[in-house]
A and B are shown apart, each in its own frame.
Chain A
Amino acid sequence: MGKLLELTNVHSYYGHIHALKGISLYVEEGEIVTLIGSNGAGKSTTLRTISGIIHAREGKVQLGGKDITHTEPHLVVGQGVGHVPEGRGIFPKLTVQENLDMGAFTVNDQKIIDDRAELVFELFPRLKERITQFGGTLSGGEQQMLAIGRGLMQNPRILMLDEPSMGLAPVLVDVIFDTIKKLNEQGTTILLVEQNALMALSIAHRGYVLQTGSIVLTDDAAKLKKNEMVQKTYLGID
Chain B
Amino acid sequence: MKQFTSNPFYKFILFPIGQILVFALGASLVLSLFTVLLAYIFRAGITGFDLVERVLLILPQVVINGLTIGFVYSTIALGYTMVYGVLEFINFSHSEIFMVGGIVGVELMAYFDHTGALQTMNQYVIIALAILLGMVISGSLAVTVERVAYRPLRGAPRLVPLISAIGMSFFLQDAVRLILSLTTGEFNVILPNFGTFDEFLVVAVPGIATPLRFQIKSILLVGVTVLMLVGLNYLVNGTKIGKAIRAVAQDRPSASLMGINVNMIISITFLIGGALGGAAGVLFALKATKLDPFVGFFPGLKAFTAAVLGGIGNLTGALLGGLILGLLESFSASYLSTFTNGAFGAEYKDILAFAILILVLILRPSGLLGQTVGQKA
Q: Once the chains bind, are B259 and A91 in contact (CB under 8 Å)?
A: no
Q: Once the chains bind, are B377 and A106 in contact (CB under 8 Å)?
A: no
Q: Once the chains bind, are A103 and B258 in contact (CB under 8 Å)?
A: yes
Q: Once the chains bind, are B259 and A106 in contact (CB under 8 Å)?
A: yes
1/0 contact trace for B217-258 toward A, CB 8 Å?
Answer: 000000000000000000000001001101100110111111
Q: Which residues of A contact B377 (CB under 8 A)?
A: 92, 136
Interface residues of A in 99-156 (CB under 8 A from B): 101-103, 105-106, 136, 150, 154
With A74-B262, A136-B377 as known contacts, state yes or no: A89 contacts B247, CB within 8 Å. no
Most B CB contacts (10 A, CB to CB) among A93, A94, A103 go to A93
1/0 contact trace for A46-78 toward B, CB 8 Å?
Answer: 000001010000000000000000001111011
Q: Once the chains bind, are B247 and A102 in contact (CB under 8 Å)?
A: yes
Does A98 lie at the interface of the complex (its beta carbon under 8 Å from any beta carbon of B)? yes
Q: Which of A73, A91, A136 lies in contact with B247, CB distance below 8 A?
A: A91
Most B CB contacts (10 A, CB to CB) among A51, A73, A150 go to A73
Does A85 lie at the interface of the complex (its beta carbon under 8 Å from any beta carbon of B)? yes
Q: Once the chains bind, are B259 and A154 in contact (CB under 8 Å)?
A: yes
Q: Which of B246, B257, B262 lies in contact with A89, CB distance below 8 A?
A: B257
Q: Which residues of B contact A103 (CB under 8 A)?
A: 258
With A89-B251, A91-B251, A92-B377 as known contacts, state yes or no: A102 contacts B260, CB within 8 Å. yes
Does A83 lie at the interface of the complex (its beta carbon under 8 Å from any beta carbon of B)? yes
Q: Which of A74, A94, A98 lies in contact with B259, CB distance below 8 A?
A: A74
Q: Once the chains bind, are B254 and A91 in contact (CB under 8 Å)?
A: yes
Most A CB contacts (10 A, CB to CB) among B244, B255, B377 go to B377
Q: How far is the CB of B189 from chain A (nearest CB, A)?
A: 42
Q: Which of B244, B246, B247, B256 lies in contact with A53, CB distance below 8 A?
A: B256
Q: Which residues of B contact A93 (CB under 8 A)?
A: 246, 250
Q: Once the chains bind, are A74 and B246 in contact (CB under 8 Å)?
A: no
1/0 contact trace for B283-302 toward A, CB 8 Å?
Answer: 00000000000000000000
Does B372 lie at the interface of the complex (its beta carbon under 8 Å from any beta carbon of A)? no
Q: Once the chains bind, are A73 and B256 in contact (CB under 8 Å)?
A: yes
Residue of A nearest to B244 (CB): A105
Could you tell me how many residues of chain B have their Cβ less than 8 Å away from some Cβ of chain A?
Answer: 19
Q: Once the chains bind, are A101 and B256 in contact (CB under 8 Å)?
A: no
Does B119 lie at the interface of the complex (its beta carbon under 8 Å from any beta carbon of A)? no
CA distance A18 to B359 in the complex (A): 50
Q: How far is the CB of A20 from chain B (nearest CB, A)?
A: 18
Q: Once the chains bind, are A105 and B251 in contact (CB under 8 Å)?
A: no
CA distance A78 to B244 in the complex (A): 16
CA distance A94 to B243 in the complex (A): 8
Q: Which of A89, A92, A106 lies in contact with B253, CB distance below 8 A?
A: A89
Does B261 lie at the interface of the complex (its beta carbon under 8 Å from any beta carbon of A)? yes
Q: Which of A77, A92, A94, A136 lies in contact with B257, CB distance below 8 A?
A: A77
Q: Which residues of A contact B255 (CB under 8 A)?
A: 91, 102
Residue of A nearest to B256 (CB): A73
CA distance A89 to B253 in the complex (A): 8
Q: Once the chains bind, are A102 and B262 in contact (CB under 8 Å)?
A: no
Q: Once the chains bind, are A74 and B251 in contact (CB under 8 Å)?
A: no
Q: How far is the CB of A73 from chain B (nearest CB, A)?
A: 4
CA distance A82 to B244 in the complex (A): 18
Residue of B nearest to A137 (CB): B377
Q: Which of B240, B250, B257 lies in contact with A73, CB distance below 8 A?
A: B257
Q: Once the chains bind, are B247 and A94 in contact (CB under 8 Å)?
A: yes
Q: Which of B246, B250, B259, B376 lies in contact with A105, CB distance below 8 A?
A: B259
Q: Which residues of A contact B247 (CB under 8 A)?
A: 91, 94, 102
1/0 contact trace for B103-116 toward A, CB 8 Å?
Answer: 00000000000000
Most A CB contacts (10 A, CB to CB) among B243, B251, B255 go to B251
- Tell me the B residues contacting A by CB distance below 8 Å: 240, 243-244, 246-247, 250-251, 253-262, 376-377
5 pairs across A/B with beta carbons < 8 Å?
A: A74-B261, A91-B246, A92-B250, A94-B247, A154-B259
- Tell me the A residues contacting B by CB distance below 8 Å: 51, 53, 72-75, 77-78, 83, 85, 89-94, 98, 101-103, 105-106, 136, 150, 154
In the complex, the 9 A-B pairs of residues with the closest C-beta atoms, listed nearest first: A89-B254, A77-B259, A106-B259, A73-B256, A136-B377, A91-B250, A102-B258, A74-B261, A92-B377
